[in-house]
Each structure stands twice: as C-alpha cells, then as structure tokens.
Amino acid sequence: MKLISILQYLYLGFAALFLFDGIEKWNNEGYQAYISLFFSALAIAFFFFRKKFKKRFKDRGKL
C-alpha cells in the first residue's frame, strides 16, 4: 500500500518534467510541444485517479 502512495506522487514529478519539456519545445519548435503537454495533463489525471482509488480501496473494509 505504501508503494501506491509513492507512485501517486511520482506522477506529479513526471507531470512537472513533461510540462517543463513542453514549455521548452514551445519556445523552440512549437508544434512538437503538444505531445509533452498532453503527457503532462495525462500524468496529472493519473495522479487524481490514483488518489481517489487509494481512498476508495482504504475505505473498502469499513463497510
């Protein structure tokens, strides 16, 4: 269970990395930045999904 909480914040790290890469590519090339920005948004979505899933899994035994 501890691994899931670590991976949850790892997604935010990847989001920051892809966001930085997208901004760098936006300033230089422009059209290739969309892929990095898409992966950044996807990593943020995965972060919130994992957070919700972790809470749901934790509350599962309280029924």
One pLDDT digit (tens) per residue for the chain, 63 residues: 677 778 888 999 999 999 999 999 998 877 888 999 999 999 999 999 988 887 777 777 765
Q: Is 44 exposed, middle or buried (CB count within 10 Å of its CB: 0-12, 13-18, 19+)?
A: middle
CA–CA separation, 23 vs 32, rounded Å? 10
Domain membership of residue 33 (yes or no) is yes
What pTM does this model have? 0.78
Domain membership of residue 49 (yes or no) is yes
Domain membership of residue 2 (yes or no) is no
Number of domains within the chain: 1
Domain span at residue 41 reads 11-57
Domain membership of residue 63 (yes or no) is no
Domain membership of residue 40 (yes or no) is yes
